[in-house]
Structure formats: C-alpha cells, structure tokens
Structure 1
Amino acid sequence: MRLSLELLQKENIVKLAPMECFTSCLMTYIKMSGEDPSVMLLDYWNLHYKFKTLISSKDARQLKVGRFFDIDMTLVRGNKETLEVELAKGNSVIFLCKASQLSYFPSSMLGLEDSGFQHSILICGREQGETEGDKVVDPMLDYIGSVSMQDLVSAGSRGNGTELLYFKLTKLAQAFQRSTINEIVSNCAERNLKYYEQTINAKPGLSETNQASAASKEAEWMEWFSNRQGGAEALVRFAEDARQSLSWTSKSRKGWIDRNLLTITAIIQIRQQVWKQFCQSQILSEEVVRSGEASMDQIVKGWKSLHFKLIKYKTITDGFPGQIDAITQTADHIRNEELQILRRMAAIGESLKESAE
C-alpha cells in the first residue's frame, strides 16, 4: 500500500521509546496511512530478556496489526531483487539492518548493536521521477531521507551476504472488519496476561483444541515460541544473571548494567503509555481507574527502584551479595505487581466479553 508523499512528514513520525525501533516503524507507517496507531498499545504490555537485557518490545510475530487495521505484515527472506520488486509495487517494508552501516546514523547512538540487537527502518519506496535512493523513515532519529539501494543492501545483508530480511506491509487478503472498542480491550487484556504468565501455563491453549485449524495452531505455536523466555520469566532470568554477575569481569558487569539501565527507562515509558491507552478507551469505571492508578504507581516505583539499585551496584567495583539480594527482591516485587494488574484487567476483559453475549 503506497504511502502518500504528503504524509511523509516528521510530525507523523512515532517514536515509541528507546529500543522500540520496529514497533515505532510500524506505528509510523500506520499514522502515515492516515490512521491513529495508538490503539495498538492496548496489546503492548510485554517483557523479554534478550542478549542479557530486559526489553519491553514485542517480537514481530506477536504484533497482530491485522486485528486493528487493514494491514498485513509478512516476513520475507529475500534479496536485493525481491526488495526492489516489492518497492516497485508501491508497498512499504520494515527493513532489518545494522544501524552502524547506515551513513546517516550517528555513532554516538549505536547503543546495543554490539550486544546483538538489530535496527529497523521503514522503507517507503522511491519518489516518482527520482533515479537515486529510496525514501527511508527512521523514527529513532526523526529522520526522513533517501538511501541508495546499495547502502540498504550493505546495511541489511546477512548469511551468505545476499539475504535480506524485511516485513512487507500490504492490505489484508480478506475483507477487514473493525472490532468494537469493547472487543479490542477484552482481547488485548487477555493477550497481555496470556503472554506475561506464559511459563506458568507452559503451553499455548489454542493448539491443544480440536477446533483450531492447522494454520491457527501453527501461528499459535509460533507466537508461543517467540515468547518462550518472555513475560514474568524474563525477570526470573534477569535475577539469575544478577546473581551470576558477581563472578563476571568488571567490564562484563558494567556492560550488563548499562544496557539494562537504558532499557528499564524505556520499559517505564511503555508501561505508562499502555495504561494511558486503557484509560482513554472509556471502558473502565472510575473505581477501576483509581485502583489501576495505584497499582501503576507501585509498578513504576518498582522499576525506578530497580534502576537505582543497578546504579548503586555499578558504583562498587566488586559488588557484594547484599546488593544482589536487593536487586532480585525488587525484580520479584515488580513481577508480582505486574501479574496482579494484568489479571485484574483480564478479568474486566472477560466481563466485557460475557456482557456482549
């Protein structure tokens, strides 16, 4: 679906939070398509522990954009030729790459690339009449500009040097029917809890039912697999590494602390935005909003406390077990507080579903 050049403006860029480049690209595309992407945040309470780093971003396989908009997002393992064909059709793509290989990207902002994290940019195709460069939007930098296909290939190539990974954005194959806000809130509250307490339930439920189609089962298992170390389990793994860090080198420990200090700041921002979106849905009663605000205060305080304790741990060269106990206890507190609010929201979602029947 070709974006209108009139909407390729910086005021339409959505920068969700640090380390949220992929979802920021997707939300920017939605906004530049003339829609309000904020409803997606209802489905965005998440946590992962990846490359020894806590992150709030969802795996692309968990982003069900077709539930909210007439947009299909499909992973393509392609190459230069397939990318050119896709862009020639007028489609936009979210392109996975190394930020360090993009000429416009400042070295001071490369952040976590050395730890294994990749970058995402939105490629919107070539303007009519242009012979050089494709229009690129990089929400992390509020950047809109042209990048040559050669530079894109250099930044995105992997494996044998020719493979490129990108998600093509097109219209849904089937007719799109927009859900009601009650349906959206109910489904999102259920999914947020489902993936946060996934390790408690161990397996995806849909794949165990006879009514589920083969395609549904495959999709459900793929989502489950992408989140197998996510949700509450992420904090458990973080706490395990906190204990192990006493035996790490000072450099390794400092790197681990610095990465998580950055991402915890992003997690706080995302948590607040998700809760704000639930409140703005106008579905919640005043009593639910008040109790939710109190829970959110505890959650934000917990993350800020963890941030502070990591800073304190960083200032002591060798560390000591007392600091680790404080860190792991705070992580456990956050886990319990988040499970409580997600369970309450899921219960409200269930009541909305029952009232609609």
Structure 2
Amino acid sequence: MKLDVSHSRIVSLPALMCKESCIMTGLNMAGYNYKLMLLEAWNLLYEGGVLIGSKRLSKFDLGFIYGIQTGEVTGNVGKLIQLIENNGLVLVSVRESKLKFTRNHEIEFDSVGFTHQILVYSYDSESELFEIIDPVSDYMGSISILELQAAATVHGLFKLWYMDLFEIKSAASIDEIYRRAAVTNFSRFEKNKLALLQMKEDLLKTPELPLKERELWFKRNALTISTIAKIRQNIWITFSESDSLTKEQKMKGLALIDSIGKGWISFKFQLMKVMIHPLDFELLNSIEQRIESLIHLEYEFLKHIYYQWGK
C-alpha cells in the first residue's frame, strides 16, 4: 500500500496519547478514517500516580474497524527492519528523554514508568537510517540505529507493535462500529470510576509528600487531565457525525459533553490550587465533590450514547 507521507497527515493528540497519535497518523497516511479509532477511547487508568486517558497497545483492535491486523513482538534491529518491509508501519516503545527532538513536558514521565511511542515507516539500508514520525513532538525525520537503540526501553531490544497494511481483511459496517463503541465505553464505566477514586485516595495523601514529589504529582495530573478533557470532546465529535442521532439527541449529547469538559478543567485548576495550599481541607472537600460530579456526568453521557446504539 502506498503511504501519503506528508506533514499534513500527522495527527497529534495531547500529552501521553502518543500511542493513539502514532496509530491515527499511520491510518491517515494509509487513507483510512482515523477518527473512528477514537470512538472506543473513553478510558481512564490510574498508574504510577498519574491519571491517564490512554490504554495499552494490546487493547487496540484495528481488525474490527479497518480490517487491519496488528501484533506485538520484542526483537532486535533486524526484526524491526523485517516488520517494516513485511507489514508496513511499526510503533517502537522508547524513553522519550533519550530522543533529541523530545518536548520537555514529556520528560518527567520517564521516571514513573511511562514509555513513549514513535512511528517507524521506512528504512534506508545505505544510510542505515530509519524514517520516523513522532506526532506528539510534531517531528518527522530520520534517526540512526544507534540513536534508536539508545532510546530503547529494553536493553539491546525493541518493543514493537505493528500494523499489517499488506493483507487487509473485511471490516465491520459503520453501524456495527458505533454500536460496539457505545457498548464498550458504557461497560468500562466502573473501571473508569475506580481510577478516579484511586486518584482521590492519593490526592488526600499529598499533604504528607515531600515538596518536590508533591509538586510533580500535581503537575503530571494537571497535564493529563487537560488531555482527558480534550479527548472526550473529540470522541463526542466523532459520535455526533453519525446520521443515526436526531437533532434532540445531538443537543443532549452536546450539553453533557460541555458539562464534562468544564468539569475536568475545573478539576485541573482545583488541583493546582491544592498544590499551593496543601492543607486547605475545604478545597480538598470541594475536589471530592467535583470528582463525584464528574463520575455522575460521565455515567449520564455514556448511558445516553449506549441508549442510541448499544441497546
């Protein structure tokens, strides 16, 4: 399959959505409607003291939506080259702080175990350079084998996730795609709720943390919360493009997503205030109420979408 490798094809989502950004960029380069992949991205995880809206690479199913088969493997440089030649596009897990084109706000996540992904789409055997795209850093260019090895998350090896663009199978209909997304997102509500409650538990313990550790906790989560708010807006936009929704249903969905977005942003600003005033228990109490409000709003939104497609 011929790829449209141009800067205009880069799809850059906010911080810590590097996996999604790489996959969507690859889909866009290959001429697919990359927005459909976001439909099932209504996700929350609390890991390493950070609330994120991403999910593990193994959870992405491009076969259902696009007929594209994917796989994961750990291998050396030779394996990476083989995958590029035989499959087309490969995501490589790296430590972003080791990349020269990194954006500074991502570096501080290395220390809490978060890996970064870049998209590798070509290899030149004469120059021994890989052609890569890092959508989050808005970078398109070359990287040497040595540079890539230095950034690898496993010494001497690479964690690789690939998209097979040469053997496309049948995909689901657009109605089936929307229906599964509605059901999947609604069924994930309890896990998302648990992630928020786990974060709340740690939040209440932050006054006990050393100053530097406490500030990092708040700054990391403020950044990821901004991402979560933006991704939820993007998910709704994709749902709202369906002809299956009536005008009234779209208006209700828009009102809910607007409240959710404002709720997440208010949550972010409240967190930053607590970072400065860690013993303001009235403020901590208001954040607890904000979390409960977000849980309720998210449930109502997911139920609204579920009732349109999932029932």
The DSSP-based 3-state class of the residue aligned with 1:274 is helix
Which of these residues, 35, 44, 49, is aligned with residue 47 of structure 1? Answer: 44
Which of these residues, 142, 154, 158, is aligned with residue 138 of structure 2? Answer: 142
Equivalences for 1:252-331 in 2 at 5 Å? Answer: 252-316=213-277, 318-331=278-291
The code of the aligned residue for 2:185 comes to N
Distance 1:99 1:348 in 2: 41
Alignment partner of 1:181 is 2:174: yes
Range that drifts further, 298-307 or 175-184: 175-184
Give the superposed CA RMSD. 1.9
Q: Taking structure 1 as reference, are residues 21 and 15 closer, same or farther at Cα in structure 2, changes over 3 Å only?
A: same
The code of the aligned residue for 1:176 comes to K
Distance 2:2 2:6 in 1: 11
Deviations along 1:8-42, one digit per CA (max 9) or x if unpaired, are: 11100000222111110000000111112011121
Alignment partner of 1:13 is 2:10: yes
Distance 2:81 2:174 in 1: 38
Alignment partner of 1:345 is 2:300: no
2:160 maps to: 166
2:32 maps to: 35
Deviations along 1:236-268, one digit per CA (max 9) or x if unpaired, are: 101101111122122222111101111111111
Distance 1:301 1:252 in 2: 28
CA contact 2:87–2:162 (8 Å) conserved in 1: no
Distance 1:100 1:152 in 2: 12
CA contact 2:130–2:144 (8 Å) conserved in 1: yes
The code of the aligned residue for 2:265 comes to K
- Unaligned stretches of 5+ residues in structure 1: 198-229, 352-357
1:208 maps to: none
Distance 1:242 1:106 in 2: 27
Which of these residues, 87, 100, 103, is aligned with residue 100 of structure 2? Answer: 103
1:124 maps to: 121
CA contact 2:66–2:172 (8 Å) conserved in 1: no
Distance 1:171 1:290 in 2: 38
2:183 maps to: 190
Q: Taking structure 1 as reference, are residues 14 and 249 closer, same or farther at Cα in structure 2, changes over 3 Å only?
A: same
Distance 1:24 1:342 in 2: 23
The DSSP-based 3-state class of the residue aligned with 2:66 is coil
- Normalising by structure 2, report the TM-score: 0.94
Q: Taking structure 1 as reference, are residues 32 and 257 closer, same or farther at Cα in structure 2, changes over 3 Å only?
A: same
1:355 maps to: none
Per-residue deviation, 1:3: 5.0
Per-residue deviation, 1:60: 1.5
Distance 1:237 1:107 in 2: 27
Distance 2:198 2:153 in 1: 31
Distance 1:53 1:196 in 2: 18
Deviations along 1:148-195, one digit per CA (max 9) or x if unpaired, are: 11211121142xx2232010211486x622322221111100001112
The percent identity for this pair of structures is 28
Deviations along 1:48-74, one digit per CA (max 9) or x if unpaired, are: 112111111122122111111131221
Q: Taking structure 1 as reference, are residues 168 and 350 closer, same or farther at Cα in structure 2, changes over 3 Å only?
A: closer
- Unaligned stretches of 5+ residues in structure 2: none
